[in-house]
Amino acid sequence: MDSPLDVPDDWGLDGKVAIVTGGGAAGDGIGNGRAAAILLAKAGARVVVVDRAAELAARTVAMIEALGGKAIGCEADVTKPEDCRAMVEAALDRFGRLDLLDNNVGIGSRGSVVEESQETWRRVMQVNVETMFLVAKHAIPAMIRAGGGAIVNVSSISALRPRGLTAYSASKGAVIALTRAMAVDHGPDGIRVNCVAPGPVYTPMVYQRGMSEEARARRRTASLLGIEGTGWDVGRAVRFLLSDHARYVTGQTLVVDGGATLRGPERDT
């Protein structure tokens, strides 16, 4: 790209193949993974929607197909190496290649190191960090064979501004470090690796646990913009980082939080 005439006017995703883990969501709700899967498909990518619950992945596939996109569902537990291998094989068997990966699986936790159990600590680290290691381990060789690719790992602003979720914050900080290390390791392979750190977005994972209107309002006003973030906001960030528009971006963390991490204590006027 040596002149403005060389700048792409599309996402550069047409015909590429993407895996999105955690791509399901309850009902017709829009979680981060489902939003990314739909937006990638709308931009021309063929998407393998991975979820531990086959019916949730299937619903995302149906939503993509209703928009004219191409996708398949894949039931997998990404804590298991054999499932990670199988979903990459499913992408290759159906679409013949693999170019893109959205590592989007995660769970929450609450409590300090004194309050948290060792069992919960290990489970949070397994689901939030080790799964990204396992999926990438099997996806990257296929990307190299395809001539390169791009990966997005989903972290959280809790990695940047801890707020009493110690195991979760530590795991999401590890995701950022893993992203930077992977970017160094695989840049020579033509693979870009970046990270998205969402703020308090309103998704099915959040509201299924139950949330009062007062709590929802507090989350909204945490944004400097005074608006509520959704899975679509995270999905758009993922699509950008996986697209050709981000061809010169790697090893970075894109914060999607409406400015929440910039908000400090109220000042006297």
Q: What single-letter DSSP state applies at residue 223?
A: S
What pLDDT does residue 3 have? 62
State residue 8's pLDDT score: 64
10-residue averages of pLDDT along the chain (269 residues)? 65 97 94 98 98 97 98 98 98 98 94 94 97 98 98 97 91 98 98 96 75 79 89 98 98 96 59
CATH fold for domain 13-198+230-256: Rossmann fold (3.40.50)
What pLDDT does 263 receive? 79
Q: Under a CB-based contact definition with an 8 Å cutoff, are residues 104 and 23 in contact?
A: yes
- Judge if pTM exceeds 0.85: yes
**Which of these is catalytic: 168, 202, 207, 248?**
168
Q: Report the alpha-carbon distance of residue 169 to residue 152 in Å, rounded.
A: 18
Q: Would you list the domain boundaries of the chain?
A: 13-198+230-256
* Residue 217 pLDDT: 81
Nearest CA to 237 among 32, 25, 18? Answer: 32
75/129 Cα distance (integer angstroms) = 20
Q: Please return the burial class of 85, using the count of CB atoms within 10 Å of its CB with bins 0-12, 13-18 and 19+.
A: middle
**202 is a catalytic site residue:** no
Please tell me the predicted confidence (pLDDT) of residue 20.
Answer: 98
Apex CA 38: angle with CA 34 and CA 41, to 5°?
140
